[in-house]
Structure 1
Amino acid sequence: MDSNAIRARLGALIASRGEDYASLSRLLGRNASYIQQFIKRGVPRRLSESDRRILASHFGIAEHLLGGPADESRAILARPGLARAVNDYVLIPQYQIRASAGPGALPDSETPTARIAFQAGFVRNLAHSPPEALAIISVEGDSMLPTLAHGDQIIIDTNDSAAARDGIYVLRVDDALLVKRLSLNPATRRITIQSDNEAYPSWPDCDPAAVHIIGRVVWVGRKL
């Protein structure tokens, strides 16, 4: 495909979605001017394979529209176990790991046992991270009731692991995973680890450097 057409299409997508060059450049792990230089100056002449795949997934379009291969069934990343995009869908890996909403759960495995399809636009609204940063695991226990129940499936954004804003996160404590609500004190920058179920204890004034955060919970689904 003509490189001018690719740059024009990407520029139109950015304008129509209200995006900005710098944010998309950061999404790719590039310097802030990377996308602007590509669109305005043609530098680089073409997008790299990884950049093209991330952008195609972010905008929910076929990869060949940004210069990729015409084969729509190619994985967004060649490495096994990560999310894949097929047409307008993203496949998010599901792991047989339970994040305890109780006393703690040991990870059984870190190999995905399934991949669940979500519409690409829906995933894009869940998290600003590329889809390969997302993973699905289960909740075990009742300490996060009524927000999360035993058996709930949760999507975790593993790129969102700094606890820079309040939310529900999955933590690693020794070899166990916990799902808890984190609140950041804006003055001291210390973290409170809370259970939504008042029957369980909370831990105030924790040092963020001592908390190993796996990622932020961005979605929950449950069986009725």
Structure 2
Amino acid sequence: MPNPSFDNPASDPRGRLLQLAEERDASLSSLSAFIGRNASYLQQFIRKGSPKKLEEGDRRKLAEFFGVHESELGGAEEKSYASFAPLWDDDFIAVPRLPVSVAAGPGQFAAGETPFDNFGFSGRWLRDNGLDPKMLSAVTVEGDSMEPLLRAGDEVLVDRTPRPFRDGVHVVRMGDTLLIKRIASPGKGRLTLLSQNLSYPPVEVSMDEVEIIGRVVWKSGRI
């Protein structure tokens, strides 16, 4: 196999590696030892094209050593933040954000339920998680009883799909009050409403005292 051309080292992973090694005054044998290979490994890679490309672990170590992105040594191209802009196509689903607060504290009366905005979710992500967009809505957490799992101002995605009950974080209605709690079933027609914040004691109720609105399946919040 002919040796690669090094007329433009930056355009070729082998040429770029050779250029970086020369700039650092590092021998190929010492770099081979650095990544745990035999002394001729990188010499073979550069001069004979064997292997055809560096393995991911070797490439990462060398990129970190030289302080460059892996794309310069044959990895995936580095993407700018603009590359991650949402693609608003038919597979992005608008999930309604409701002007409703669910209490993670003493209790909060529900407001109106007309959406004021939407969250855009990948349709594929929703399908992969078994979620039906028509049964989803986002509401806001108030209070501190679910800290540190959920904090005041976080928004949570509630799945209202009827399913057999299982323990987890749910939004429930007690009278006119919406609560967000971890719910466990001790049996005998009873439910236990649990707070993450241990300052709040568990509350045990009968099943006919609460209406389970839906299960919390996702959260968002500021860091």
Bin for the TM-score computed over the shorter chain: 0.5 to 0.7
TM-score by length of 1: 0.57
Q: Report the counterpart of residue 144 of structure 2 in structure 1.
A: 142
Q: Report the counterpart of residue 76 of structure 2 in structure 1.
A: none
Q: What do you get for the CA RMSD once the two structures are aligned?
A: 1.8
Distance 2:123 2:161 in 1: 18
Distance 1:161 1:107 in 2: 24
Q: Deviations over 1:148-205 (max 9, x none)?
A: 111001000011465x1110001111211110000122x535321111111012113x
Q: Is the 8 A contact 1:195 1:202 kept in 2?
A: yes
Letter in 2 for 1:90: I
Distance 2:140 2:92 in 1: 22
Q: Report the counterpart of residue 130 of structure 1 in structure 2.
A: 132
Question: Which stretches of structure 1, 4 residues or more, deviate above 4 A after TM superposition?
Answer: none
Q: How far off is 1:129 after superposition?
A: 4.1
Q: Report the counterpart of residue 217 of structure 1 in structure 2.
A: 216
**Matched-pair identity in %:** 35
Distance 2:200 2:143 in 1: 11
Distance 2:158 2:219 in 1: 9
TM-score by length of 2: 0.57
Q: Is the 8 A contact 1:161 1:214 kept in 2?
A: no
Letter in 1 for 2:145: S
Distance 2:137 2:213 in 1: 10
| Number of residue-to-residue matches in the alignment | 136
Larger-Rg structure = 2
Letter in 2 for 1:112: P
Unaligned runs of at least 5 residues, structure 2 = 1-87
Q: Report the counterpart of residue 51 of structure 1 in structure 2.
A: none
Q: Report the counterpart of residue 152 of structure 1 in structure 2.
A: 154
Q: Report the counterpart of residue 53 of structure 1 in structure 2.
A: none
Distance 2:216 2:183 in 1: 11
Letter in 2 for 1:176: T
